[in-house]
């Protein structure tokens, strides 16, 4: 939300490029769609102002600084830290990252789940199943179950009028239908696993990262267990430590957590793979945002939509909590790592300490301990 706050200050209060109502519409639409919310809001505003050129420039502006920093970090990691036996430097970042994710999950739990028994059951079900069953389809099952329960048990805001109880469809243009068809094919190639039958790594990168982009309901933290399952367990593109390090690096950049895709792409196919992975994970959801904008603008007050989202949210919370638990289980338990985890959790949860500083502190601890132990 920090990025959206900057947009409000610069584009509404300073130069009046857009109205506050337009920004709120963008946020409402992005909240209902897959993809990183802040990036999709920026993409929507760029398209609203200057159509396709505005879309390209806005996304480039919001992602370029993070990608440049991630390139530097990835290059240093694979050329010096990783290959020269310095990976121990990153050990304590695991504790800090898990504390940040756990803090995020608990904060959302208190706002969205606590006090509602139906939502609590859905959240606990998600935690239980995801703790013992791996894979993307169990996550998809939980999402669908949550949405269905939300509609059946009317979990959303019941103050909507009868007029907005349904869902209205507006005829799409040919280009929009073509775009949706292309996105559908990308998503189908992802969930069917057809990409596994090609040796072309760049094609695999496109299929996997675009599939992730179109599955991202609830924010980047939700995708951590999915990406971990894909990259570490199924595809074996990264080791568990490399995956954790990529998440830690993404927290050091000014961009969204999914900029970690740059790291994975860089390992697989150098700078070409890094750029392709970044485009594939951000562009499909941004295109979907633009295509769906007109339809969802007419349905942001739909009772059906509100109920479905109210059921999905506790599942999302459970997914975030499980991702934190999985990272915690990979921590090397020492008095220092436990103390660092507790301190990071307290600073993040209670005092809203900037996660960038927590990651930097844990990284500095690893650097100091690594080099002092060699003297």
Q: Considering only CA atoms, give the Rg of the chain.
A: 21
- pLDDT above 50 for 213: yes
Place of tokens 């367990």: 233
The CA-based angle 336-317-180, given to 5 degrees, is 125
- pLDDT on residue 64: 93
* d(C-alpha 137, C-alpha 133), whole Å: 10
Locate 181 and state its tokens.
Answer: 């068809």
Contact 266, 274 (CB under 8 A): yes
| pTM of structure | 0.69
So what's the pLDDT on residue 347?
A: 94
Q: What is the pLDDT of residues 146-175, one digit of tens each?
A: 989 999 998 876 555 444 555 566 677 778
The DSSP H or E segment spanning 283 is helix 260-297
pLDDT digits (tens, 9 = 90+) for 169-195: 667 777 888 888 999 999 999 988 888
- Under 8 Å CB-to-CB from 338, ≥6 apart: which residues? 95
Cβ 257 vs Cβ 292: under 8 Å:
no
Q: What is the mean pLDDT of the chain?
A: 84
More confident residue, 203 or 104: 203
Mean pLDDT of 20-29: 75
Tokens found for residue 319: 């997914």
- Taking the C-alpha atoms of residue 315 and residue 319, their distance in angstroms, rounded to an integer, is 6
Task: Answer yes or no: are the C-beta atoms of 263 and 82 closer than 8 Å.
Answer: no
Where does residue 161 fall: left (phi above 0), alpha (psi -120 to 50 degrees), or beta otherwise? beta
DSSP 303: H
161 or 104, which is more confident? 104
Higher per-residue pLDDT: 161 or 41: 41
Residues 341/82, Cβ–Cβ less than 8 Å: no
Structural domain boundaries in the chain:
2-372
Burial class (CB in 10 A: 0-12, 13-18, 19+), 343: middle
Name the token pair of 235: 């595809």
Instruction: Report the share of the chain in percent with pLDDT over 70.
Output: 87
Give the confidence band of 220 by pLDDT, cuts at 50, 70, 90: low
Q: The tokens 């949706």 sit on which residue? A: 180
CB 213 within 8 A of CB 278: no
């Amino acid at each position: 939300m920090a990025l959206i706050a900057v947009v409000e200050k610069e584009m509404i209060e300073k130069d009046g490029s857009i109205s506050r109502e337009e920004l709120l519409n963008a946020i409402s639409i992005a909240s209902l769609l897959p993809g990183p919310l802040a990036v999709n809001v920026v993409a929507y505003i760029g398209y609203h102002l200057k159509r396709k050129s505005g879309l390209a420039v806005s996304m480039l502006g919001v992602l370029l600084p993070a990608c440049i920093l991630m390139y530097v970090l990835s290059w240093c990691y694979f050329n010096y830290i990783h290959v020269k036996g310095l990976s121990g430097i990153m050990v304590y970042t695991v504790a800090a990252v898990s504390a940040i994710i756990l803090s995020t999950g608990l904060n959302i739990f208190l706002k969205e789940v606590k006090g509602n028994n139906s939502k609590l059951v859905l959240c606990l079900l998600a935690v239980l199943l995801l703790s013992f069953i791996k894979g993307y389809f169990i996550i998809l099952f939980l999402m669908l179950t949550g949405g269905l329960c939300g509609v059946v048990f009317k979990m959303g805001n019941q103050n909507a009028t009868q007029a907005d109880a349904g869902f209205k469809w507006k005829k799409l243009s040919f280009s929009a239908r073509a775009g949706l068809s292309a996105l559908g094919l990308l998503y189908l190639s992802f969930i069917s696993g057809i990409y596994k039958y090609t040796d072309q790594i760049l094609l695999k990168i496109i299929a996997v990262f675009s599939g992730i982009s179109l599955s991202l309901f609830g924010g980047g933290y939700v995708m951590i267990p999915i990406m971990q399952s894909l990259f570490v367990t199924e595809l074996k593109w990264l080791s568990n430590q490399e995956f954790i390090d990529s998440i830690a690096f993404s927290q050091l950049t000014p961009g969204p957590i999914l900029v970690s895709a740059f790291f994975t792409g860089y390992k697989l196919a150098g700078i070409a793979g890094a750029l392709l992975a970044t485009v594939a994970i951000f562009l499909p959801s941004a295109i979907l945002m633009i295509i769906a904008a007109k339809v969802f603008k007419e349905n942001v007050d739909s009772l059906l939509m509100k109920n479905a989202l109210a059921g999905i949210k506790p599942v999302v919370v459970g997914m975030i909590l499980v991702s934190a638990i999985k990272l915690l289980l990979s921590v090397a338990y020492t008095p220092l790592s436990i103390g660092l985890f507790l301190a990071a959790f307290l600073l993040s949860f209670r005092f809203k300490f900037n996660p960038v500083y927590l990651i930097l502190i844990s990284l500095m601890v690893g650097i100091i301990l690594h080099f002092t132990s060699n003297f």
